[in-house]
């Protein structure tokens, strides 16, 4: 397999999985509210989803590093199909919150099989096939494809809900995820990675966790970027899902599901713009940590302004700007982390990074949901902006380590 084919397969997987998953992203908050949950319980359910990611990140990362990236991806797809259908059952029966919490955690399990494994599969495959491009460019292409697929899926899901009901996009999602499973089964092969020989599950987990800690939180070049993740990850999830009811409130028609889908589509379009600009920004500004700091401060400012506007049109534009900034930041962060992680521990370390981000979401999402319950969506966005900028001091420490070790940073920039 050539490097071009590896990259093409990765982009195909991103397109089909994101297109399927995003069918519900534009209306998920409205779906939970329609099922009888309050605003606070809606974001608490999202927090249980995130808690599931915290609980299962390392075990599923171990699966990816010992059994294989492809196996992890297929398990994730199968789990998402089942939990999507369970969500539909809970909605139809107006199930109690405890069941939403359990199924949301299982939904988180499905996504943890993806996190780390897909990126690790791409990086290993590119290295093994002699790829001579930059990781920033590869991840930026993935960001653009992800944005296009998300735009199609989220807008399509919103229109489908408008024409039928809020449950139909979940049926469509399950069917499309089945197609995703078939594509991955046929096209995805582990390249440049040999599964570790297994002796005992406990021994494997202990050894990989120790190695991932050594190359993750104990690696001073990676540590502070990972510790900044909880503040941005938790806010980003709230900012996206709260936009659905908030924009409908500003629009004046709370039953316009197509508008909710459009809001998710706007964020997807912003991801396309942000991903397309990431490579250019990286070539123009070689300080990856500096790019991250600037993007976090700018996007935090945009979130704060979103909290005080009263115009639907202005809020929609601000949402697009926020999505562009966040999307431009993601490939830069991915490339930075991957350039400092050995192949053998890559999936597990990336899963640990995702775990930290999810841990922040477990606390931040219900807190912001409760803020919206008490004060409204606008004031909750102001609180979210304050939380996000708390990531800046951690990135400042990461930048200081780069200054102290310029030779290491130069090597990373060539990765």
User: Does residue 69 carry a pLDDT above 80?
Assistant: yes
Non-local (6+) Cβ contacts of 274 within 8 A are 143, 147, 323, 324, 325, 326, 327, 328, 329, 330
Q: Calculate the average pLDDT of the chain.
A: 84
User: Does residue 195 carry a pLDDT above 90?
Assistant: no
Residues 15, 163 within the same domain = yes
Residues 53, 84 within the same domain = yes
For residue 222, tell me if it sits in a domain.
yes
Which of residues 207 and 61 earns the better pLDDT score?
A: 61
For residue 195, tell me if it sits in a domain.
no
For residue 201, tell me if it sits in a domain.
no
For residue 198, tell me if it sits in a domain.
no
Euclidean distance between CA atoms 235 and 42, whole angstroms = 15
Residues 271, 122 within the same domain = no
As a whole number, mean pLDDT of residues 108-120 equals 83
Residues 247, 162 within the same domain = no
Non-local (6+) Cβ contacts of 221 within 8 A are 340, 398, 401, 402, 405, 408, 412
As a whole number, mean pLDDT of residues 138-151 equals 84
pLDDT tens string 330-385: 778 877 887 787 766 676 677 678 778 888 888 998 999 999 999 999 999 999 99
The pair of structure tokens assigned to 149 is: 């697929």
As a whole number, mean pLDDT of residues 278-306 equals 83
Of 122, 156, 187, which residue is a domain's last? 187
Tally of domains within the chain: 2
For residue 196, tell me if it sits in a domain.
no
Residues 134, 27 within the same domain = yes
Residues 402, 284 within the same domain = yes
Most confident range, picked from 151-160, 186-195, 205-214, 397-406: 151-160
pLDDT band at 411 (very low <50, low <70, confident <90, very high): very low
Residues 224, 325 within the same domain = yes
Residues 249, 389 within the same domain = yes
Instruction: Centre a 10 Å sphere on the Cβ of residue 405 and count the other Cβ atoms it contains.
Output: 14
For residue 278, the enclosing domain spans 206-414
pLDDT band at 82 (very low <50, low <70, confident <90, very high): very high
User: Does residue 412 carry a pLDDT above 50?
Assistant: no
Euclidean distance between CA atoms 395 and 392, whole angstroms = 5
Determine what percent of the chain is predicted with pLDDT higher than 90.
Answer: 40
Residues 310, 390 within the same domain = yes
pLDDT tens string 315-340: 999 998 998 888 778 778 877 887 78
Q: Which region among 121-135, 163-177, 271-285 has the lowest average model confidence (pLDDT)?
A: 271-285
Q: What is the pLDDT of residue 409?
A: 44
Q: Which region among 61-70, 85-94, 161-170, 191-200 has the lowest average model confidence (pLDDT)?
A: 191-200
Residues 45, 125 within the same domain = yes
For residue 346, tell me if it sits in a domain.
yes
Residues 157, 215 within the same domain = no
The 3-state DSSP composition of the chain as helix, strand, coil percent (nearest 5) reads: 85, 0, 15
Q: What is the pLDDT of residue 407?
A: 46
User: Does residue 406 carry a pLDDT above 60?
Assistant: no
């Amino acid at each position: 397999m050539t490097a071009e084919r590896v990259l093409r397969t990765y982009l195909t997987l991103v397109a089909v999985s994101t297109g399927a998953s995003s069918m519900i992203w534009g209306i998920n908050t409205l779906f939970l509210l329609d099922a009888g949950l309050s605003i606070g319980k809606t974001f608490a359910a999202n927090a249980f989803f995130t808690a599931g990611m915290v609980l299962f990140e390392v075990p599923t990362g171990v699966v990816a590093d010992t059994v294989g990236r492809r196996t992890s991806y297929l398990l994730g797809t199968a789990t998402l199909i089942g939990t999507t259908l369970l969500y539909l059952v809970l909605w139809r029966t107006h199930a109690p919150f405890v069941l939403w919490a359990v199924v949301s955690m299982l939904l988180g399990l499905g996504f943890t099989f993806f996190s780390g494994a897909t990126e690790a599969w791409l990086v290993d495959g590119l290295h093994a096939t002699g790829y001579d491009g930059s990781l920033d460019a590869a991840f930026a292409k993935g960001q653009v494809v992800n944005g296009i697929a998300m735009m199609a899926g989220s807008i399509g899901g919103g229109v489908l809900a408008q024409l039928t009901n809020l449950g139909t996009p979940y049926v469509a999602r399950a069917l499309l995820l089945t197609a995703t499973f078939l594509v991955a089964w046929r096209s995805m092969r582990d390249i440049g990675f040999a599964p570790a020989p297994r002796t005992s599950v406990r021994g494997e987990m202990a050894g990989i966790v120790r190695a991932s800690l050594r190359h993750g939180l104990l690696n001073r070049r990676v540590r502070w970027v990972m510790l900044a993740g909880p503040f941005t990850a938790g806010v980003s999830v709230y900012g996206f899902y709260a936009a659905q009811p908030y924009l409908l409130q500003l629009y004046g028609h709370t039953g316009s599901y197509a508008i909710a889908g459009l809001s998710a589509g706007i964020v997807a379009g912003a991801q396309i713009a942000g991903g397309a600009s990431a490579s250019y920004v990286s070539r123009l500004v070689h300080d990856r940590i500096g790019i991250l700091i600037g993007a976090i401060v700018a996007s935090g400012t945009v979130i704060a302004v979103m909290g005080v506007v009263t115009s639907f049109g202005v809020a929609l534009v601000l949402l697009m700007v926020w999505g562009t900034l966040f999307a431009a930041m993601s490939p830069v962060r991915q490339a930075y982390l991957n350039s400092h992680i050995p192949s053998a521990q890559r999936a597990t370390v990336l899963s640990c990074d995702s775990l930290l981000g999810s841990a922040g979401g477990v606390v931040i999402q219900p807190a912001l949901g409760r803020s919206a319950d008490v004060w409204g969506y606008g004031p909750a966005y102001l609180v979210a902006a304050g939380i996000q900028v708390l990531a800046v001091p951690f990135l400042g420490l990461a930048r200081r380590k780069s200054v102290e070790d310029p030779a290491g940073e130069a090597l990373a920039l060539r990765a």
